[in-house]
Structure 1
Amino acid sequence: MAGVLDSVNQRTQLVGQNRLELLLFRLAGKQLYGINVFKVKEVLQCPKLTSMPKSKSVVRGVAHIRGGTTPILDLGLATGKRALDNIEDAFVIITEYNNRVQGFLVHSVDRIVNMNWEDILPPPKGTGHDHYLTAVTKLDNQMVEIIDVEKILSEVSPVNETIREGLITDDARKAAVNNKVLIVDDSRIARKQISRCVEQIGIETVVLEDGKEAWDYLRQMLADGKDPKNEFAMIISDIEMPEMDGYTLTANIRNTPELKDMHIILHTSLSGVFNKAMVQKVGANDFQAKFHPDELAQKVIDQIMARGGSVPALEE
Structure 2
Amino acid sequence: MIRIGLVGVGKIARDQHIPALAADARYQLVAAASRTKPDLGVLPVFQDIEEMLAQGPALDAVALCTPPQARRETALAALRAGKHVFLEKPPGASVGEVAELAAVARAQGVVLFTSWHSRFAAGVAPAKAWLSTRRVREVAIEWREDVRRWHPGQTWIWEAGGLGVFDPAINALSILTEILPTEAFVTGATLQVPENVQSPVAAHVDMTNLDGARITADLDFLQTGPQTWDLTAQTDDGVLKLSMGGAELTLDGQPVEVGENHEYPGLYDRFATLIARGESEVDARPLTLVADAFLLGTRESVEAFVE
Fold similarity call, TM over 0.5 = no
Shorter chain as denominator, the TM-score bin is under 0.3
| TM-score normalized with structure 2 length | 0.25
State the structure with bigger RCO (CA 8 A, min sep 6), 1 or 2: 2
User: Rg bigger for which structure?
Assistant: 1
Q: Scaled by the length of structure 1, what TM-score is found?
A: 0.25
Question: Which structure has more helix as a fraction of its residues?
Answer: 2
